[in-house]
Amino acid sequence: MVIRVALVDDQALFRSGLRMLVASQPDLLLVGEAADGASSVELAAVVHPNVILMDVRMPGMNGIEATQHILAAADARGAARPRIIVLTTFDLDEAAARAIRSGASGFVLKDAEPAFLLSAIRMVHSGSAVIAPSATRELFDHFTAGSAKTPPPSAFDSLTVRERAIFSQVARGLSNAEIASDEFVSEATVKTHLSRVLGKLGLRDRVQLVVFAYEHGLAG
Amino acid sequence: MIRALTSRQLGTDIGVAALLVVVALAYTAQSGYVGFADAGVALGMGVALALRRFSPPLALILAWLVAVLQMLLRQDPGLADLAILPVLYSSAAYGPSVLRWLGFASTFVGAALATLYTVTIPALLTYATPSVIYQGLRAGLNGELATVAESTLIVFTGAVAVFILSWVLGVLTRAFSRSEASRTAQQAAENDRLLAEQAVIVEQERNRIARDMHDIVAHSLAVVIAQADGARYLHASSGIHHDQIANPRDGHNLVDESLSTIASTARGALADFRVLLGELRHNEPSGPQPGLGELDDLARQFGSTGLTVELRTSGVSAPLGSPRELAVYRIVQEALTNALRHADRAKPVVVALDWGREELWVTVTSTNPLAGVGVGADSALATPSTGAAPEPAAGPGHGIPGMIERATLAGGVLAAAPRGTLFVVSAQLPIPAATTGLQPTPSRAVTA
- Answer yes or no: do A89 and B218 touch at CB < 8 A: yes
Chain B closest-CA separation from residue A154 CA (Å): 35
Nearest to B222 among A21, A111, A114 (CB): A111
Quote the pLDDT of residue B238.
58
B292-447 fold? Heat Shock Protein 90 (3.30.565)
Quote the pLDDT of residue A57.
86
Residue B365: phi, psi to the nearest 5?
A: -115, 125
Q: What is the pTM of this model?
A: 0.49
- Answer yes or no: do A114 and B236 touch at CB < 8 A: no
Residue B320: phi, psi to the nearest 5?
A: -110, -20
Pairwise CA distance, residues B299 & B305, whole Å: 10
Contact criterion met (CB below 8 Å) for B168 and B92? yes
Strands B422-430 and A106-109: unpaired
Contacts of A114 in chain B (CB under 8 A): 229-230, 232-233
Pairwise CA distance, residues B78 & B96, whole Å: 30
- Answer yes or no: do B274 and A58 touch at CB < 8 A: no
- Answer yes or no: do B274 and A91 touch at CB < 8 A: yes
Size of interface A-B (CB pairs under 8 A): 79
Structural domain boundaries in chain B: 7-187, 208-276, 292-447
Quote the pLDDT of residue B164.
92
Quote the pLDDT of residue B121.
80
Pairwise CA distance, residues B380 & B396, whole Å: 12
**Quick check: A161 pLDDT over 80?**
yes
The residue of chain A with its CA nearest to that of B287 is: A59
Contact criterion met (CB below 8 Å) for A186 and A194? no
Measured from the Cβ of residue B376, the count of other Cβ atoms closer than 10 Å reads 13
**Quick check: A7 pLDDT over 70?**
yes
- Answer yes or no: do B233 and A21 touch at CB < 8 A: yes
Contact criterion met (CB below 8 Å) for A124 and A85? yes
- Answer yes or no: do A90 and B282 touch at CB < 8 A: yes
Assign A9 a pLDDT band (cuts: 50, 70, 90).
very high
- Answer yes or no: do A24 and B230 touch at CB < 8 A: yes
Quote the pLDDT of residue B191.
81
List Cα–Cα distances, B117 to A94, B103, B220, B435, in angstroms: 89, 20, 100, 103
Name which of B358, B364, B361 is nearest B338 in CA terms.
Answer: B364
Quote the pLDDT of residue A2.
92
Q: Is B390 helix (H, G, I), strand (E, B) or coil?
A: coil
Residue A29: phi, psi to the nearest 5?
A: -130, 120
Measured from the Cβ of residue B236, the count of other Cβ atoms closer than 10 Å reads 12
Residue pLDDT, tens place only, A106-138: 899 988 999 999 999 999 998 887 888 778 877
Average pLDDT of every residue of chain A = 88
Pairwise CA distance, residues A110 & A108, whole Å: 6
Nearest to A20 among B222, B242, B266 (CB): B242
Cα of first residue to Cα of last residue in chain A, in angstroms, is 36
The residue of chain A with its CA nearest to that of B270 is: A111
Q: What ipTM is given for this predicted complex?
A: 0.78
Residues of chain B with pLDDT under 50: 240-251, 279-286, 372-398, 435-448
Kindly state the DSSP code that residue A149 receives in the 8-state scheme: P
Contact criterion met (CB below 8 Å) for A67 and A101? no
Quote the pLDDT of residue A5.
96
Measured from the Cβ of residue B274, the count of other Cβ atoms closer than 10 Å reads 18
Contacts of B267 in chain A (CB under 8 A): 111
Chain A closest-CA separation from residue B305 CA (Å): 24
The residue of chain A with its CA nearest to that of B259 is: A17
Most confident range, picked from A26-40, A172-186, B32-46, B339-353: A26-40
Contacts of A110 in chain B (CB under 8 A): 218, 222, 225-226
Q: Which stretches does DSSP call E strand in B220-296?
A: none
Contacts of B221 in chain A (CB under 8 A): 111
Residue pLDDT, tens place only, A48-105: 999 999 999 888 888 999 999 999 999 898 888 899 999 998 777 888 888 888 889 8
Pairwise CA distance, residues B410 & B448, whole Å: 6
Chain B closest-CA separation from residue A194 CA (Å): 35
Nearest to A24 among B238, B267, B287 (CB): B238
Can you give B163-176 as a three-state secondary structure string? HHHHHHHHHHHHHH
Pairwise CA distance, residues B378 & A60, whole Å: 36
Chain A closest-CA separation from residue B389 CA (Å): 39
Pairwise CA distance, residues A156 & A162, whole Å: 13
| Distance from chain centroid for Cα B71 | 55
Domains of chain A: 3-126 (3.40.50.2300), 149-215 (1.10.10.10)
Pairwise CA distance, residues B410 & B324, whole Å: 6
Chain A closest-CA separation from residue B197 CA (Å): 29
Mean pLDDT for the stretch of residues A189-199: 91
- Answer yes or no: do B222 and A93 touch at CB < 8 A: no
Contacts of B230 in chain A (CB under 8 A): 16-21, 24, 114
